[in-house]
Structures are given as C-alpha cells and as structure tokens.
A and B are shown apart, each in its own frame.
Chain A
Amino acid sequence: MRRDIFQAIADPTRRAILVLIAVQAMTPNAIAEHFDNTRQSISKHLRILSECDLLAKKQEGREIFYELKIDKMKEIDIWLAQFRKIMEEKFQQLDQVLFTIKNKKK
C-alpha cells in the first residue's frame, strides 16, 4: 500500500505525534508518555509515520530520537490538505442546500 500524508494525518494520535516531534526530536518512550495508548500502539503509529516518510531517526548513544522531516511536508501537501478541506466544506454547504430543497417540496 502506498502511504502518503493523508494516511499520516487520518488518525488523531498520529496528528498529535507530528505536532510533538515538529517542536523537538523525541525518543519513542518520551513520545509514549504523552499518550494513554500502549507503547505497542505508539510504535505502530510511529511505523506508519515512518512509512509515510515523515520521520527522521537520529541515534544518540543508546537512544533513538525521532524528528519530523519537515521538508517532506511540502507545500503541495499543504495545498492538497487545504483543497480537501475546501471541498469538504463546500459539500457540507451542499448537504444543507439539498436538505432545504427537499423540505420545500414536501
């Protein structure tokens, strides 16, 4: 399966992880401490983010730090996310319009 930024941000825990590591590089343990999820579930989210090519690994001594590959979140992805949001909002407006028209007909 091809992974991309939409899969990365589809899950609230992954979005929260991205926000955390956007600020500073963190070890998996330090990341897990921010969540109620099991360590195993955090590992799974980190693996998916890694497959989306959003994580850079840094080895320091015995510890592995994860940081966000900021250049991977390219402008195009941000435009795409915005375009998606714009379309979602338009369709929600259309839901309302359809609902209003249907009620008038009754």
Chain B
Amino acid sequence: MNLPFDFTVDKDTATIYITREFAADLDLVWDAFTKSEILEQWMGPKPWRVQTKEMDFRVGGRWLYAMVSPENVARYSLVEYIEIQPKSSFTTRNSFSDENGNPLNTVFTYSLTTNSFKAEAGKTTVSIVKKLESLSQLEQFTAGGFYKEGTAMGFRNLDELLLTLVTNK
C-alpha cells in the first residue's frame, strides 16, 4: 500500500508542509490524531513507545506524553491545544517539557502545528503545516535529539544517508 505523501519545506519561513492520505473515513482519522489511546499506537518511532501522562483535548487543554526508550528513559513532550474546529482542523503548540509539563528552556523553544482534515470517498487527507522558529530546531526531532539512539535514523554522514535512501527504494 503506497498512499500519497507530500513533504515540502519553505526554508525562508521555516515551515514544513506535509500532506498524507489515509484509507479510512474522517471520524476514524480524526480520532487517531486526537485520542491518546490511538495516538500512542503510532506516534512513537520504533523502538520508542509513547506513554500518556495527561490528555485533555479541548481548547486550552493539553496532551502531556513521554517517549520511552527500550532502556526506559522517558523524554516528555507537551502538546497544547490552541484552536479546534471539530472534524476539520486543530492547531497545537508543541514543546519539550519536564514530566509535569514545565517547558525545558535549555535548548528548545516551540513549534506551531495545524492539522487539517478533508474527507473524500471513504478516504481522508490530512494536511499538516508545521511552523518552526528556525529549521535548526529540527535537530531536536532527529539526529541531535530524540531519535539519536535506538533507531536507524542516526545518519552519520552524507554517504550513509544517500546509500540508505538508495537501498530503501
């Protein structure tokens, strides 16, 4: 199964645009993005798992969760719900936090993400606009941050990256 996936970056505005189609109806896809018990099943890149500490999906509410490594090291993330248009879109402010949801102001600031949902003939297209303060924040999401250990993501140099891309195709 190869569903349409689009990923573009506007470097000048540090904004990432992602569009992906899912083979399920709007109600189910909306739940998958807004209910912690489903989010937990897909948000963790293997072998990390997601554990919810708090979930309150309403404007002003938040989802506080931990990414837990196989060695049981937990890194907390905070998703604050800023705007919600039911079954249509929602906007979140995302940051890394401590276990109580207090911001970690040492390294990371925050990003704003809007997820929009569009239903069509039993399928649902999700458009994600992720506005970062700067693209260098991405290091937190990838090599320098979360996923450094335990995943195949730790590309060390260009050759390795390119060879992996070639082999995966």
A residues sitting closer than 8 Å to B (CB atoms) are 4, 6, 9, 12, 15-16, 18-19, 22, 68, 70, 73, 75-76, 78-91, 93-99, 101-102
Quick one: which of B7, B29, B143, B155 contacts A84, CB cutoff 8 A?
A: B7
B interface bracket (residues with beta carbon within 8 Å of A): 35 or more
Chain B residue at smallest Cβ distance from A18: B162
Q: Which of B28-60 contact A (CB under 8 A)?
A: 28-29, 32, 38, 41-43, 45-46
Across the interface, do A91 and B9 meet the contact criterion of CB distance under 8 Å?
Answer: no
Q: Chain B binding site: helix, strand, loop or mixed by DSSP?
A: mixed
Segment at the A interface, from B15-23, B70-78, B84-92, B102-110: B15-23
Quick one: which of A76, A78, A88, A98 contacts B28, CB cutoff 8 A?
A: A98
Across the interface, do A12 and B166 meet the contact criterion of CB distance under 8 Å?
Answer: yes
B residues sitting closer than 8 Å to A (CB atoms) are 1, 3, 5, 7-9, 11, 16, 18, 20, 22-24, 28-29, 32, 38, 41-43, 45-46, 135-136, 138-139, 141-143, 147, 153, 155, 158-159, 161-163, 165-166, 169
Bound-state Cα–Cα, A18 to B23, Å? 35
